[in-house]
């Protein structure tokens, strides 16, 4: 079981890096759109038509395409009010509970966004100014959310096979192993 989980983890690592690279490419596009808009606005007195709409799409895409890598590396924001709950078997149980809740929330969020993508496809919904179809964009966002949910489930299963080890311990061990391989 552990070998299978390790292979699946390598696959999800590749998928999460792909999504992160997509977020980086979209960020580059966002920078280019902003530069063209600013130069057009102030030098040629002709702003880029629909730039606000494109920026909105890019910002949403960057956020959701970052989810898989964030979930893979466990780079969530953590408020550690009571550090005793993060160590030993109690930390392990708390980590399992948090991963289960995170998985449930990601699945529910992905389901809602998927419903919106289907509705946008059926209705032929397009953006306001540039008439860009919404369903492909929302579909990719849905895929990123479900990928993050799958990564959370994988983390849950891996942690289940390592009693007494919290998610932070596992994530830091993984980062140390990757740094040793580089």
CB-based contacts of 86-95 (< 8 A; 24+ apart in sequence): 86/166, 86/168, 87/166, 88/164, 89/163, 89/164, 91/166, 91/168, 91/169, 92/159, 92/162, 92/163, 92/164, 92/165, 92/166, 94/166, 95/159, 95/166, 95/167, 95/168
149: in domain: yes
Q: Mean pLDDT across the stretch 84-90?
A: 69
Residue with the bigger pLDDT between 52 and 2: it is 52
**CA dist., res. 172 & res. 75, Å (int):** 11
Length reported for the chain: 182
180: in domain: no
132: in domain: yes
Radius of gyration of the chain (CA): 20
Residue 142's domain comprises: 2-76+83-175
Split at pLDDT 50, 70, 90, the class of 72 is confident
Split at pLDDT 50, 70, 90, the class of 174 is low
Residue with the bigger pLDDT between 87 and 114: it is 114
Count of domains in the chain? 1
44: in domain: yes
126: in domain: yes
């Amino acid at each position: 079981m552990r070998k299978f989980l390790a292979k699946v983890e390598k696959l999800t690592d590749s998928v999460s890096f792909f999504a992160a690279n997509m977020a980086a490419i979209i960020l580059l596009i966002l920078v280019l759109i902003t530069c063209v808009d600013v130069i057009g606005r102030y030098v040629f007195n002709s702003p880029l038509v629909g730039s606000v709409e494109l920026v909105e799409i890019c910002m949403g895409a960057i956020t959701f395409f970052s989810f898989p890598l964030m979930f893979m590396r466990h780079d969530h924001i953590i408020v550690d009010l009571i550090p005793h709950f993060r160590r030993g078997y109690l930390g392990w149980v708390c980590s399992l509970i948090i991963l289960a809740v995170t998985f449930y929330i990601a699945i529910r969020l992905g389901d809602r966004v998927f419903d919106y993508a289907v509705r946008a496809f059926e209705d032929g919904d397009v953006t306001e100014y540039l008439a860009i179809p919404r369903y492909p964009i929302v579909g990719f966002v849905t895929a990123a959310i479900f990928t993050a949910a799958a990564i959370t489930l994988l983390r849950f299963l891996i942690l289940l096979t390592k009693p007494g080890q919290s998610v932070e311990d596992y994530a830091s061990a993984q980062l140390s192993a990757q740094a040793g391989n580089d």
